[in-house]
Amino acid sequence: MQLKYLTDYKLSGRKVMLRVDFNVPLKDGHIVNEERIDRSLPTIQHILNEGASLIIVSHLGRPEETNEVQKEFSLKPIALSLEKKLKMPVDLKRDLSSIKQSSEDLLMLENIRFFKGEKSNDSNLAKDLAGLCDIFVMDAFATAHRAHASTTAILDFVDQACAGLLIKQELQALDRIDNAEKPIVIVLGGAKISTKLPLINALLDKVDHLILGGGIANTCIAAQGLEIGKSLIESSLVSEVKSLINEDNVILPSRVLVAENKEAEAREVDIDSLTKNDAIFDVSPTFIHSLQKIFNEAATIVWNGPMGLFEQDQFSLGTQAVANLIARSEAYSIIGGGDTISAASMSGVLDSINYISTAGGALLEYLAGKSLPALAALQKKALERVDNGA
């Protein structure tokens, strides 16, 4: 992929806008895992060391686009964490006009998903953002699959744009997967069902085993016509996944951990024994261990998405079992996504993983061979002759 990178540009005295992905897991207002912040630091430090002023833009979670700050989704905890890491103040601004008026060297805009037009890739918002900087640096690899105003439309309005150091690192590492050694195993879970389910067909062609857990597995179990009670599923996709459930290389859990609510004690049951009041909160760890041979024989393993509600101790065992089997296998292993990194970290296996990608959904789309809109826009920009500021 032909992109321009941060290091191709002179930055001294210029205003740089940096799009990062600080969509980190939070619990009670505290950051559970800082990997996405830490991995953005080299780009941030490079820009500041070059003598540029910097405006950092990120999203966090999926708030309503109201143009108002919603406390639960505020970037405040992240700004505080960044201050400690950089040992300098990070001024969090709630709107674009406060950014325009400020003369400080390091600013952060509040969650860009508060702003109307972000998710619809709106030109007006993109133009306003572009008006705040001389050069735009895209380093949110984990959000590159979203065509949003701050990842994609902005490229139509900035004079100069390039990719940051994290995107460079991610692309170099993931290129290795293009010629990945077989057998290839992908473990797919998590709650973002509508992002991931449509990719399964494309992934199936490339892998030897696709092990499903989380909301994705629940949706497939519903497609088998089984009772899934109050489990998290994507009803609109149930008929679409019917064709997948009989594929030889798809592995669905045969036993799961259920409860009436997430505070209740877990019960292990066969997948055809759920009642209307049960919800699936984890895959049985015994079931995961029954797949040990597949993990041991794999040459490449990719994991995205926890098997269940791993934040609750009683529903963390299936996810921990996956983490431990990957850590013990001799395969080249890649894990990706905020929750997956957090789960692997809680299981104490991060040091045994070969590559940790900051991306979840974007990683899967990349592996499925889809074009990521933000990278495509950067590439188009790199080919424009007028963009000659290097």
Contacting positions for ligand 3PG (CB under 6 A):
21, 23, 62, 142-143, 146, 192, 195, 337-338, 360-361
- Of 192 and 206, the one with the shorter C-beta distance to ligand 3PG is 192
337, 338, 360, 381: the catalytic one is 338
Amino acid of residue 385: R
- Of 44 and 363, the one with the shorter C-beta distance to ligand 3PG is 363
User: How many secondary structure helices (H) and strands (E) does the chain include?
Assistant: 15, 17
Closest distance to ligand 3PG from the beta carbon of 302 (Å)? 15
- Per DSSP (E only), the strands in 289-376 are 300-304, 332-336, 355-357
Closest distance to ligand 3PG from the beta carbon of 207 (Å)? 20
Inter-CA distances, 105 with 52, 54, 57, 87, 95, Å: 8, 6, 14, 13, 17
Inter-CA distances, 232 with 58, 222, 225, 283, 373, Å: 28, 10, 15, 13, 29
4, 14, 19, 192: the catalytic one is 192
Closest distance to ligand 3PG from the beta carbon of 113 (Å)? 8
- Of 199 and 325, the one with the shorter C-beta distance to ligand 3PG is 199
- Of 53 and 143, the one with the shorter C-beta distance to ligand 3PG is 143
Active site residue 213: no
For the stretch 240-278, what's the b/e string if a residue is b when 16 or more beta carbons lie within 10 angstroms of its beta carbon?
ebeebeeeebbbbbebbbbbeeeeeebeebebeebeeeb
164, 190, 215, 361: the catalytic one is 361
Instruction: Find the residue with minimal CB distance to ligand 3PG.
Output: 23
Can you tell me which residue has the tokens 């473990």? 187
Are 113 and 65 spatial neighbours (Cβ–Cβ below 8 Å)? yes
Nearest-angstrom CA–CA distance, 115 and 107: 17
Closest distance to ligand 3PG from the beta carbon of 388 (Å)? 32
Active site residue 361: yes
Closest distance to ligand 3PG from the beta carbon of 62 (Å)? 5
4, 36, 168, 381: the catalytic one is 36
- Of 21 and 134, the one with the shorter C-beta distance to ligand 3PG is 21
Nearest-angstrom CA–CA distance, 46 and 163: 13
- Of 128 and 339, the one with the shorter C-beta distance to ligand 3PG is 339
Active site residue 229: no
Closest distance to ligand 3PG from the beta carbon of 376 (Å)? 17
User: Using CA atoms in the order 214, 220, 224, 226, what is the torsion angle rounded to 10 degrees?
Assistant: 30
SS3 percent helix, strand, coil of the chain, rounded to 5, is 40, 15, 45
Active site residue 338: yes
Residues tagged active-site: 36, 192, 338, 361
